[in-house]
Amino acid sequence: TFTYDMFRERTGFKLGWGCLCFYPFFYALPLWPLVSEPASGDISAGVALGCGAFFFLGWTLTRGGNMQKFAIKTQPKTPRFKFLGVIEVEQTTVEGSGGRVLCSGWWGLARHVNYLGELVQALAIALPGYLATGSLVSFAYPVYYLALFIPRQLDDDHVCEHKYGKQLWHKYKQLVPYRIVPGVW
């Protein structure tokens, strides 16, 4: 998302204010109920580990997708990409894209699998606050991400169709039909 921020939305007040003032406080909001409200209960060690594993799944989707994209840009002739030395995926691009549009591995799951990873991480951070206190404030962060990523994905589809051409982008959308959530949307 950093590249999108810099090149599509441009650097300026919004990005500067967001990075310095908004995000440092907003990202902590899901955990606020844990310190501000008397806990009506607590989460078990198993639930805490589950939330941690869920967060790691989101991190894997985000980081894996971004690293695969970096790998295809820096080593376009490499047929496979290995993430964390464990997960290996093919580096297939859409025919006619000059090796620039990935349609396999992480990017074969959804056109913005990295957004899904960010959403999963946000939910994993929100769950402990909600499960321990029942406070819906915990979900402000994941809801914000939904409101941010859905319009951004729609805009990105439009930009990429213009950038790569309608025919190639249509071919890509047939190969990777899901926008953010594989099998759903």
Closest CA to 104 of 78, 136, 137, 133: 78
pLDDT (tens digit per residue) in 157-181: 999 899 888 998 999 899 999 999 9
Q: What percentage of the chain reaches a pLDDT higher than 70? A: 89
On whether the CB atoms of residues 160 and 91 are closer than 8 A, the answer is no
Predicted pLDDT of residue 86: 67
Dihedral of CA 151/52/66/30: which sign? positive
Query: Once rounded to an integer, what is the mean pLDDT over residues 82-99?
Result: 75
C-alpha distances out from residue 124 to 4, 36, 103, 141, Å? 24, 19, 28, 11
Model's pTM, two decimal places? 0.83
* Cα separation, 142 vs 180, whole angstroms: 14
pLDDT band for position 10 (cuts 50, 70, 90): low
Look at 28 and 60; give whichever has higher pLDDT: 60
Residue 1 has pLDDT above 50, yes or no: no
Residue 178 CB burial class (10 angstroms; 0-12, 13-18, ≥19):
middle
Structure tokens at 79: 């047929």
pLDDT tens profile 49-81: 999 999 999 999 999 888 888 888 887 777 777
Tell me if 147 sits within 8 A of 163, measured CB to CB.
no
- pLDDT tier for residue 11 given thresholds of 50, 70 and 90: low
Q: Are 33 and 138 in contact (CB under 8 A)?
A: yes
